[in-house]
Structure 1
Amino acid sequence: MRIELGLTSFADNSDIYTDEGRSDAITAGERIRNIIEEIEVADRNGLDVYGLGEHHRPDYAVSDPVSVLSAAARTTNNIKLSSAVTVLSSDDPVRVYQRFSTLNAISNGRAEIIVGRGSFIESFPLFGYNLNDYDELFNEKIDLLTHINHNEVVNWKGHFRPSIEGLGVYPRSEFGPIPISIATGGTPESSLKAGALGLPITYAIIGGDPKRFKGHVDVYKANAEAYGHDVDKLPIGVHSWGYIAETDEQARREFFPSVKASHDVLARERGWPPYSENSFERELGPNGALYVGSPETVAQKIIDTVETLGITRFMLHTPVGSMPHEKTINTIELLAKRVKPIVDKYFEDKEKESM
């Protein structure tokens, strides 16, 4: 049993908060160049996947993940390059496929698409979509995207998006269908939808006990099986906030200021309470969703999550908020060099014991 380990990022680009205070944000261009270096470091040190989010607001630097991933594709060799997520509801599935098939060509088959409805809604008014059609847009567009992924010539009837009658979509992926998975924060509808379509699923677990997602995984598997899909061949991923340093105390001290700053921005927008140290400490524990600490602490928490949920991929989302670039690089190196060997050995030993 091999567990894929990787990273996700939203390319946070706000003021930088550390345990030593606040400093001004870097430019979006510099943040994008830093992201490319992060992907290069992850690839060089043997991590499996890097997922990059799409946003359309000033505190996140990347609105088009594929452009950034394509730049990184030319300086990396093995790492899978994915969106995390593509906000499919406000995009055109034809263009999504074309961009990712182009990335697949540049990267020699390492492109992946993680699609979602979007927890940030700025793209809907920006591209002229009505939020009242939130679910219907996604359902229609995932249907078209999966159809294009498997058919060169497309015959498809749409409601929100104009129909396509007998037209080809190019360039085609020379490596076969592009891996597409659905991301969800835990809505049952997403688990049911992904299961029915036989698509991989990625759960964003960013608060509360990860164990509570076991029910969602069970629903996903049951619905996939009911629709005739082989559940043993369907990857299941998790992405959660995290940060790694040499010691638990150092990781907590360095990570809290940026998490609080990021959370409090969203809290003001969405009517949440401000983030407290008590909330932070609660999420650090075995029943919380933060994977923060020494390499040994983070490795054990990842192992526990894999065992509980039966997942095949874990992606550490870092940084949360803006942090100094060198600290992000250090976390990536620790994940690859210190956490991954522990996780790999655990599951290698477990597989040997079962033989």
Structure 2
Amino acid sequence: MSATPLTPQLDSPHSTKLEFVPPLLGGSLAELTAWVQQQGQPAYRGKQLHDWIYHKGVRSLADISAFPKNWRTALATVPIGRSTLHYRSVAADGTVKYLLQLADGQIIETVGIPSDKRLTVCVSSQVGCAMACDFCATGKGGYKRHLDVHEIIDQVLTVQTDFQQRVSHVVYMGMGEPLLNTENVLTSLKSLNQDVGIGARSLTVSTVGIPSRIRQLAQHHLQITLAVSLHASNQALREQLIPSARTYPLEDLLAECREYVEVTGRRLSFEYILLAGVNDLPKHALELAQHLRGFQNHVNLIPYNPIPEVDYKRPNSDRIQAFVNVLKQQQIAVSVRYSRGLEADAACGQLRTSKTLPV
């Protein structure tokens, strides 16, 4: 099946769009320059606007002191596209969870994950999620809508401002399935790369797998990292954990993954949540290895993070190490990723929305 063009690839010039309409967040330098000129202002104000939005994190045009006061007053009602902080909590490891309220009142969650050398933001791509993975809190709440481009970028700027530190990495591993919102996700990737200034190879998109979308994504030859959530070593087990697998067989998903690596030349990551007694036995590791031979990939094992709705358990350290040993013996690159933010319900699989929590 031929790929349908989605958006221009990263690191290519933005095209000028004279009809650019607010919210302004997500607009390129060329688009913002065209917009200020439509307002009767000189072109250099476009660069000022771009800098204040993306690098200074301004939330209102009225606060841009570089603009003439009378023009700032006239622009007071033009939305930049920033959210409102609804709730913030900090885990013992320094991870910060944010519930952000959007213009229509919907709530999304984003997570800031600091370390010695980087600041990573885990962003949401949808309000809720339609994939309904059995072990994931987000899927229990159902799907409401896609996030717009400005709503995705806003999450990164919110964390950057709160930490007073430049965001170095972004992972699309929050609420939602990114490849169901492909156009807005790819546009936001481009803006994070070109406008916010985050390197393409520091951007990661995680997907449970949507038919043909990985193949389409490959046609853009992006330098991002693609992470595919497998969580099972065979079709029957995957159907048990991931309802969408019933209409997208494991073999078809892996065929698209192999094609992605061939087309892009980029190593692909596989996410595998370890559930005690369900998918964590040595036989599962051997089965997984058999699927992954013959193309460039890396397995991220994620010990399960508990949620109240289900009875899954995290395997003990011996069981985790045994799984790792089998993969290594089979020459499969593997690492164990213990999720940050567990105490604040901000870890992988724990994200959910709530309108009842105060800031």
Measured against the shorter chain, the TM-score band is 0.3 to 0.5
Say which structure, 1 or 2, has more relative contact order (CA 8 Å, 6+ apart). Answer: 1
Higher helix residue share: 1
Larger Rg: 2
